[in-house]
Amino acid sequence: MIRRILLASLFASASLAFSQDPGFRAPEVPPRAPAAQSNAGAGTITGAAVLTSMDVLDDSRPIQPGYVISIRILEDRKDAVQQKVAVTGEVQVPYIGLVRAAGKSCRALAYSIKRDLEKSYFITATVVIAIDQIPVEENIRMVEQDTYVMFGFVMKQGKYDLPKYEDLTISQAILRAGGFAQFADVKHVKIVRTTPQGEKRIMVNVDDIMRKGLLQNDIFIRQNDVIIVPEKKINF
């Protein structure tokens, strides 16, 4: 019994010595990691979500295929719709359906949609649009300029740049070349076009377009088209 008391006394003394030792350090407990925060239910923040006026919409940068844009109709009282502009340049707009966006600024597209909405769906429509994302490659590389070629009886033959943000028609292409030269056969203008199926030749009566107003015949020029204006055949 006395022996047990002496042993207990010795252990107690040793514990006291350690507690009074300046070099003694209690074992450290690793800090508890903070609980992970859940992102469930967190919505995507879009540019259109914070806009409340059409007056502040961007009017300088044309929207292009591949851009991610957001569209919101304030009177609809719904969240902004975010989507990627299709390769065809179109986006899906609430109530209206497919609308061409490529080549238009956010402001121009918004006012175009506003007019369509106010025809059938809203007395007044406030449409806000923002570009949320631009493809990285557009900012780091130069996009090769598309061209077409003009030959024959026009004032200025040669290679021309095809506009990036708008369509160009055959009559407009001829005007860019200074118009027809003397003795040009304006009724048999030829477009040579390369397609996946092979070379295609299109005959256009430009006289009907320019003088008779048959605009349905004023076809669009495409990349690498070759326009040939032949000489008018004169019978003596």
Write the CATH number for 87: 3.30.1950.10
Mean of the per-residue pLDDT values for the chain?
80
Domain hosting 126: range is: 47-140
- What is the pLDDT averaged over residues 190-214? 89
Q: Do 89 and 168 belong to one domain? A: no
Kindly report which listed range (63-77, 108-122, 155-169, 170-184) carries the lowest average pLDDT score: 155-169
Looking at residue 19, its pLDDT comes to: 43
Residue among 225, 229, 207, 227 at smallest CA distance from 217: 207
Cα separation, 106 vs 137, in Å, equals: 21
Domain boundary pick from 96, 119, 140: 140
Q: Do 152 and 79 belong to one domain? A: no
The answer to whether residue 12 is domain-embedded is no
- What is the pLDDT averaged over residues 166-192? 91
Cα separation, 108 vs 105, in Å, equals: 5
Residue among 44, 40, 41, 116 at smallest CA distance from 83: 44
Residue among 174, 226, 218, 171 at smallest CA distance from 200: 226
Strand order in the sheet with 81-84: 81-84, 68-73, 127-133
Looking at residue 167, its pLDDT comes to: 85
In terms of Cβ atoms closer than 10 Å to its own Cβ (0-12, 13-18, 19+), residue 38 is exposed
pLDDT at 83 over 80: yes
Q: Percent of the chain scored above 90 by pLDDT? A: 50
